[in-house]
Structure 1
Amino acid sequence: MSSLVHIAIDAMGGDSGPRLCISAALKFAELNPSVQLTLVGDRQQLTSIQSSLPHQIQIIPVDEQVKMTDRPSSALRHKRNSSMAVAVQMVADGKAHACVSAGNTGALMAFGLHLVGTMPGIERPAICKAVPTKTGSCWILDLGANLECHAENLRQFAVMGDALARVAGVTAPRVALLNVGIEAQKGKSLQQEAAHLLEGQDNLNFTGFIEAGDIYRGGADVVVCDGFTGNVLLKASEGVADLLRDSLKQAFVGHLGFKLAAWFARPVLKKWAGRYDPARLNGASLLGLKGIVVKSHGTTTEEGFLAALNVAYEQALNGIVDRIAAAVGRNNNTEMR
């Protein structure tokens, strides 16, 4: 495989299909001359634009796509030649450093598990992304890959989240378990058992339980939860961010004085949008696989898909898979002693 970062893109994933993926790929290639992109998608739609693409972007035409309504097990059995499967297979075969898809989350998880596989010491991958907080960023996992988990899954998620935070420059990440309260007796058996496992993990800075509201106050650097809880947290948070953004827009509409205030406030509003706009935070990794697979929101914008491509690019540059594998090995050895 070339030393250039090569990203495979499932061009048929998401609500907007290839149009959005193609335009985002063109912009990303322009911004990153050292990247190679492969668009995998509908034969008719992609071959019609092939001659107009820059040398950085190649295409692989296919005749199948995974629909949002497809069951993961059905997609795995019957759609092995789909755009999603072929993009993931490129990572499995070492032909691409990473792949990005805005398609069916369950199917992407299934293809990742079956084609790429998990690294030693990890039973299930977890969807992870960083969210902005009052003091910096917090990595939350799982955000929807595993709706049901057991305590050992959460321990493994904590190890992977800790490794990702360290790659980002956090020297001793504070790792916490999401719960309904911070008291030791709070929570269900899952939280209680996971806390017991993490308390015995010498290589982790486990700080105990955290409530959802304290995440955004900077109460932890890594927050661990099951995928059902994490997905609800993520979508509720994005809904609040959308509400705040739309409310700000409405506040400056109508009166001339408000419009003037909006003009003077543009630098502040632009800075705020750059940090809290959900589109710019798009792109969550399936940590624990032996390759980089990034999930984009299906309803994302072009800017959001660019953000997902950048997540894949940065993780490839930083060798995140090898770093997480090393961290998992160290922590598993500690646990077994």
Structure 2
Amino acid sequence: MSVSLETEIPGTGSIPTALRPPRDQTSVPEEHLLNSANAGFLIHRVGQLKNEFRDEGLEFSSELVELINSKQAGYISIFHFEELFGTHNRLHWLLHLKRPDDYARMLDMVDHNDTWRDVSQRNRLPRKGGGNWERMFVEGSMSETIICPQHGLSAHDDTDHDEDHEHAGDTFQPAALHQTTLPPERLLNSVNSALTVHRTFRVPYALREEARVFAFEWCGYVNQALEGRMTAFLYEEMWGRQDTLHLLLHATSLDSYHRLLDMERNDRGLRALRDSQRLPEAAGGAVWHSTLIEGSQRDTLWVPVHRSAKAEGTAP
């Protein structure tokens, strides 16, 4: 999809800011990359860079992203982001796999690939006491969360997924692109979008089904209303905290995100969806806010990390 990635940061007057999508982080062609729409198993990794080592840390991360993408094309794709209006120097990596057993390919590369050894062990801090990534990140700040596309809520899931494995790329769970009726070329994802909002929230066990249905319908409404500007996908945390749901909202610009916020306040259709009764009166008549645990919803706005022109070896 061809979209304009030029936007204007609110409060900066007429200063234009180009938001380059994550696909520019790698030399691998986009058609060979896994993304949030076609992957069946995603790993979200977070790490806190020390201020002193920001430049070296971003260089290390950029080299790692290119190495993994080029060596594992078709099996593993990874992109890195940092928070906008969040915690300074907090990096986010999103790894995309078809199936969890593909992770073994990366472990094998860690043990046997000379380029990996150079990237991860080279002295990157010769004037700052020496060392590599292990000195650049705050101790204990690295964490990983596994999320998989939510399934069982769309018409696609009424069919036998086993029969569809060959056509769906043999994914661990049905890929998120099956959550919408929009054609793949009209979807934004973690490869072609300028911004990503990571929304997380927890739901009460008693309303876990109603919460998933509401989140699925909410995504469907947003995808139709903001087609070409924002795409929302729903995921569930695996081997982590029970009944924690994740949304990845991929947007072309900050303006698209503000459009979503305005819709949540003023759009009649979205308001009707939010006000629709999720349980019969006899069961309490719950609406959407009853399906979320109070205070658990959190939005984090990610922007793709890109090396400077100097670091990339191009003219500034």
Would the TM-score normalized by the shorter structure come out above 0.5?
no
Q: Give the structure with the larger strand fraction.
A: 2
Q: Give the structure with the larger helix fraction.
A: 1
Which bracket does the TM-score occupy, shorter chain normalised? under 0.3
TM-score with structure 2 setting the length: 0.27
TM-score with structure 1 setting the length: 0.26
